[in-house]
Structure 1
Amino acid sequence: MSGTELTLTLSGGTAADARAVVRALEPAFGAPEEEPPADDRVTVHTARFEHDPADPPPGGAPGTGGHLSGAVTVTVQGSPQAVAKARERLGHTFTAQEQGSVSGDQEQEWQLLLEP
């Protein structure tokens, strides 16, 4: 794996909430491999970002994800650098409370509660 890979899982929100969280991360990671589903019947939304640090994504300003309809639980998983960058971006865009983490040799996972 070259570059930075980040996987985002969002539960407890709507499709619009998932899009808002993805948009908050796009200045740092670029567009996700696939857009989250637009169907509000989906209960868990996922997005995967893959970014080569040698090819910076456009922008770089703090994310402008928008508003959330309510509290959502987000799990970010990837390299320590990618997870730290995602936590920073989400914390600048939303009110974020850390709910826990798991660290491995080359990967981290953080769970955050994002509030509107």
Structure 2
Amino acid sequence: MNGTDRTGEEHRPADEVVVALSGGAKEDAREVFGVLRTAYGCDRAADDVPQEVAGDRPTVWIATFDVSDVRAKPRPARLTAPVAATLQGGYAAVESLRASLASAFAVRVVGTASGDQEEELQLRLESRP
């Protein structure tokens, strides 16, 4: 993202949410990012999808979503296993993104950290029963 949105207005970093996914297969990460790309603009191209990384270290996939670039409401999606998601950004932006995730998955808040202008929300995402 280059600091301005498509309408020419000044882009506000408070509208950006950094999403980090871990604890799942690359297919599940693709599914979660696909759901979020349906809802919002993203800093990654559509063909930039999560890949497996060789080695025994945990893999974390990261993308930034612009909640001011609203697109469509996501539909329910399926995961093969639970996925851990960490959302970081302004309070309103994080809540908007969490609500979009909740329209597609069962979402459980497992941790929070609050700051002056931003918050971090740790979630567990699962397929709905």
TM-score (norm 1): 0.81
- Is 1:100 the counterpart of 2:111? The answer is yes
Among candidates 39, 62, 79, match of residue 52 of structure 2: 39
Partner in structure 1 of residue 96 of structure 2: 85
Check conservation: 1:80, 1:107, Cα contact below 8 A: yes
In structure 1, stretches of 5+ residues that fail to align are: none
Give percent identity, aligned residues only.
34
Q: Counterpart in 1 of 2:32?
A: 21
Note the alpha carbon deviations across 1:12-57, whole angstroms, 9 max, x for none. Answer: 1111111111122223322333534322656211111245x3xx34
Aligned-partner Cα distance in 2 for 1:68–1:95: 10
Query: Deviation of residue 65 (structure 1)?
Result: 6.5
Q: How does 1:40-79 map to 2 (within 5 A)?
A: 41=54, 43-50=59-66, 53=68, 56-57=69-70, 59-61=71-73, 63-64=74-75, 66-79=77-90
Instruction: Work out whether residues 22 and 84 of structure 2, in 8 Å CA contact, stay in contact via their aligned partners in 1.
Output: yes
Deviations 1:56-110 (A, max 9, x none): 34x322x136311101110001111110011101111101111011111111110
8 Å contact kept, 2:76–2:103: no
Q: How many residues align?
A: 111
Q: 1:10 aligns with which of 5, 18, 21?
A: 21
SS of equivalent to 2:42: coil
Matched residue of 2:24: which SS? coil
